Amino acid sequence: MSRGGRILLAVILLVIGGAAWLIWQAEQPGSVSPDRSAPPVNPPPTTVDAGTAAASAADRNFNPGWIGAACSADGDCDYSGGFCLLPEEGFPHGYCSQLCRHICPDRKGALYSPTFCIEDPTYGRTGICAAQCNLHLLKTGCRPGYICTSLQRIGESIVRMVCLPDRGTPFPATTCTRKLDKLDVAYARPDLADAPSRAARSGDSPPDQPTCQIDTPVLLSSPIHGVDFRHKGQRYADHLLVACRMALAVEKMSVLLTRLEVVEVEHNGTFVCRGVAGTHHLSGHGRGLAIDITGFERAQTAPVNVAGDWNGPEPNKKKFLRKLLGRLQDSHIFDVILAPDNSPSHQDHIHLEVNDMLSSSKSDGGEK
């Protein structure tokens, strides 16, 4: 072979070897993280991905064109800093996102759910924006292929339910969820694998159990029979994370509250991993079996606050609170009721709790 032929052959082999090395690198799992910090590339899609083309109305009507929406390319996420998390990264029909350090932007409108800044579930280290699950938009709270998942805000202990790919097997129906299915309530069954175990506030006693676990967790949509449930300090009503047995109790309580013309309940939390005050025993909140109610909004009269009105100057408000407490006690919906009159540590709220027995003779939905 001539000298020129040998040179040409060497160049060809070098090109083939380089291409093979690049292909091998691309196929190594996690070998190269995508540069999320780079400006997004937004080529106009010339063809529509087959998966996106088959996306249902649920895909199209959940945060359209915004964080959490279906996409096939960065250009589908048509907002500042938007990029598409692709199906090959584990996101069915794509998932619009953007980088974040702490807070994510929200978009107003009936089709939009709030967002939340989480650690990138695929590559870690950086924060990306996810859509919070929303039972007002979809029955399951998320687009098809996604599930409500409990995650912390990046770098913090604040937890929200966000829509992330469902990589598990469907939850089996239980005696309790079958009962819930027969009622006029909307709920989803969330993934709590990443829910943190921690004290709720500074000074709370740590629970003696290493983890807090909910038996058959459900995320209840508000309103329930016309009664909204709003966490104290928040402007709007939100979903309730509770055990299924507690969900059945909340549904019954909501029926009772409508008869008293209550349209909104202000509460101070349901599932919180903490101990009973002054002890190391796990609170009912640590199993999603309790709610602390701090106030009520009524249809025709002024709102009532437990802290200010239980022993306050207005007799009508005092009378309402005691009437409500009596109705709750007579209903036997809850196994534990603590109020200002019977508990020194409950001067600003009413604690309602169902028992922790998996087997119960009461119609609380416990597994028989």
**pLDDT digit string, tens, across residues 177-223:** 999 999 989 999 998 855 544 444 444 545 455 567 888 999 999 99
- Domain extent for 274: 171-368
CA proximity to 174, closest of 241, 220, 243: 243
Using the 3D structure, point to which of 168, 194, 218 is the last residue of a domain.
168
pLDDT > 70: percent of the chain:
76
Residues with Cβ < 8 Å from 89, sequence gap 6 or more? 122
Same domain, 339 and 262: yes
Answer yes or no: is 65 within a domain: yes
Answer yes or no: is 52 within a domain: yes
pLDDT at residue 9, as a whole number = 59
Same domain, 163 and 203: no
Answer yes or no: is 305 within a domain: yes
Assess contact for 130 and 68: CB atoms under 8 A: yes
pLDDT at residue 158, as a whole number = 84
Same domain, 106 and 191: no
**Inter-axis angle of helices 244-259 and 315-331, to 10 degrees?**
130
> If residue 297 lies in a helix (H) or strand (E), which one and from where to where?
strand 290-298
DSSP state of 275: B
Answer yes or no: is 8 within a domain: no
Backbone angles phi, psi at 160, to 5 degrees: -140, 160
C-alpha span between 261 and 151 (Å, rounded) = 36
Same domain, 44 and 117: yes
Answer yes or no: is 4 within a domain: no
Answer yes or no: is 13 within a domain: no
Number of folded domains in the chain?
Answer: 2
Same domain, 233 and 366: yes
Same domain, 186 and 99: no
Same domain, 190 and 159: no
Same domain, 163 and 287: no
Answer yes or no: is 7 within a domain: no
Same domain, 179 and 306: yes
CA 138 from chain centre, in angstroms, equals 13
Answer yes or no: is 233 within a domain: yes
Q: Does a cis peptide bond (omega within 30 degrees of 0) precede residue 223?
A: yes
pLDDT < 50 regions, the chain? 22, 24-33, 39-54, 196-203, 205, 207, 358-368
C-alpha span between 333 and 252 (Å, rounded) = 7
What is the three-state SS of 148-205? EEEEECCCCCCEEEEEEECCCCCCCCCHHHHHHHCCCCCEECCECCCCCCCCCCCCCC
Query: Which region holds residue 353: left if phi is over 0, alpha if psi is between -120 and 50, else beta?
Result: beta
Using the 3D structure, point to which of 137, 168, 199 is the last residue of a domain.
168
pLDDT at residue 31, as a whole number = 38
pLDDT at residue 208, as a whole number = 52
CATH code for the domain in which residue 328 is found: 3.30.1380
Using the 3D structure, point to which of 168, 190, 205 is the last residue of a domain.
168
Residues with Cβ < 8 Å from 307, sequence gap 6 or more? 294, 347, 348, 349
Same domain, 320 and 182: yes
Same domain, 227 and 338: yes
Same domain, 164 and 175: no
